[in-house]
Amino acid sequence: MGLRIVIAGGGTGGHLYPGIAVAQELTRRSPKTRVTFAGTTKGIESRAVPEAGFELDFIRSAGLKGKSGRELARNLAMLPVSACDAWRLLSRRVPHLVIGVGGYSSGPVVAIAALRGIPTLVLEQNVIPGLTNRLLRPFVRAVAVAFASTLSDFGSKGFMSGNPVRKEFFEMGSQIVQDADSETCHILVIGGSQGAHALNLALRQAAPALAQIKPRLIVTHQTGERDLVEVRESYRQAGLNAQVETFLEPMAKAMLASDLVICRAGATTVTELAAVGRPSVLVPLRTADEHQSKNADALVTVGAAKMIAGGDVAAALVSHVKTLAANRKQRSEMGAAARQLARPDAAARIVDRVLELVHS
C-alpha cells in the first residue's frame, strides 16, 4: 500500500497550482501514492483538479478576510459546518499527512487533521503570509516558504523550498520555439485565474495607443468571465490583433509563446514567470498588506520585470510596452534574469519534507 495524502485549499490558481505541482511530484516518486484534494464547489479546484487527474472532495466553507457585518456573521456560522465536513472527509480518506495550500477551505481540514494527530504541512507562497496560514501556524508541523524573508514568520517550523510550479512549465520549454519575426511582438495579458477587472479596464483604455506601437503587437488576453465581451470589443475597435479568452490553459504554453507578459503579481504567477524565463510588466493588486508588491519586488530587483504601483496604469502600460516591444535585447536580458530565480526543485524539496514527517 502507498501513502495517502490529502491536499486542502484552493479557490484561486495561486493557491491550487502549487498543490498540483506537489501532487505530481508525489505520484512521480511513487505511483502507489494516492493523492486527493479537498476544496469547495466554487473554487477553481472544481475544474482544475479533475483535469489534472486527481480526485476531489468538497467541503462547505467560506472566507473571513475582508468580510464584515452580516456576511462575516454568516461565514463565521459556517465554521462548525466546515469542521464537520473536514472530520468526515479525514475519517473516509484516513491520510498519512495533510498539506494545506492556502485559501479558506484549507483551514478547517488542516486544523482538524492537527487536532486528530495527523501530520500537517502548509505551503506559504507569498512574501507576506496569508491569514489562513497565520492562524494555522501554531498547529502545523512544517511550513514550506517561497521566499527566504518569510522564514522568520514561522520560526523552527519554516523551511525554504521555493514555490512549486507544475512540471509542464519546465517540460514545455524545449517544445516551443518563439517566432523570430522582428516585425511583431506577442503580448500576453493575464489577471490570475479569476481575471482582474481593473487590469482589464486599463488595457481597454490603452488599446488605441497600443495599436500604434511598432513593431506590431499581437495580444493574447485572459479576462475572466466578467469583462470578456468588453475587452474583445475594445481591441476590435482599436484594430489590434487580439485573442481574448475567459481562461487560458495550458498557461505554460501561453507564457512560453509570448515575448512579454502583463499581469498581476500573485506569488504563483511570479514563480511561473521565472520558470519560463519571460520578461514582464507587473501591476500588483493593491491590498492593505501590499503582498503582491512584495512579490513583484523579487523580479524587479534583479531586472526581470517592470512594476506599475499606481497612478495612470493605462499610460504606464503603453510606455513600458512601447519601450520593450522595440528592444528585443532588453527583453532577452529580463527573461534571463527571471530564469535565474526559478526553483525547479521546489516540489521535490516539499515532498522530501513530507516523507520525513510521515516516517518520523
Q: Where are the alpha helices (DSSP H) in the chain?
A: 13-29, 45-51, 69-77, 79-93, 106-115, 131-136, 168-171, 197-210, 228-238, 251-256, 267-276, 291-301, 313-325, 328-339, 346-359
Q: Quick check: 232 pLDDT over 90?
A: yes
The CATH number of 170-339 is which of 3.40.50.2300, 3.60.10.10, 3.40.50.300, 3.40.50.2000? 3.40.50.2000
Peptide bond into 208 cis (omega under 30): no
Mean per-residue pLDDT, 348-355:
98
Q: Quick check: 308 pLDDT over 80?
A: yes
Mean per-residue pLDDT, 145-149:
92
Q: Do 4-165+344-359 and 170-339 share a fold? A: yes
Q: So what's the pLDDT on residue 176?
A: 52
Q: So what's the pLDDT on residue 298?
A: 92
Q: Quick check: 174 pLDDT over 70?
A: no
* Amino acid sitting at position 282: L
Give residue 323's Cα distance to chain centre.
27
Which architecture does CATH list for 4-165+344-359?
Answer: 3-Layer(aba) Sandwich (3.40)
Q: Quick check: 238 pLDDT over 90?
A: yes
Q: Quick check: 320 pLDDT over 70?
A: yes
Q: Quick check: 179 pLDDT over 60?
A: no
Mean per-residue pLDDT, 33-41:
97
Domain definitions of the chain by residue range: 4-165+344-359, 170-339
Q: So what's the pLDDT on residue 180?
A: 58
CA-to-CA distance for 159 and 190, rounded, in angstroms?
A: 30
**Model pLDDT for residues 199-224, shown as the tens digit of each residue:** 999 999 999 999 999 889 999 999 99
Say which residue, 291 or 256, is predicted with more confidence: 256
CA-to-CA distance for 267 and 103, rounded, in angstroms?
A: 13
Say which residue, 174 or 257, is predicted with more confidence: 257
- Average pLDDT across the chain, whole number: 92
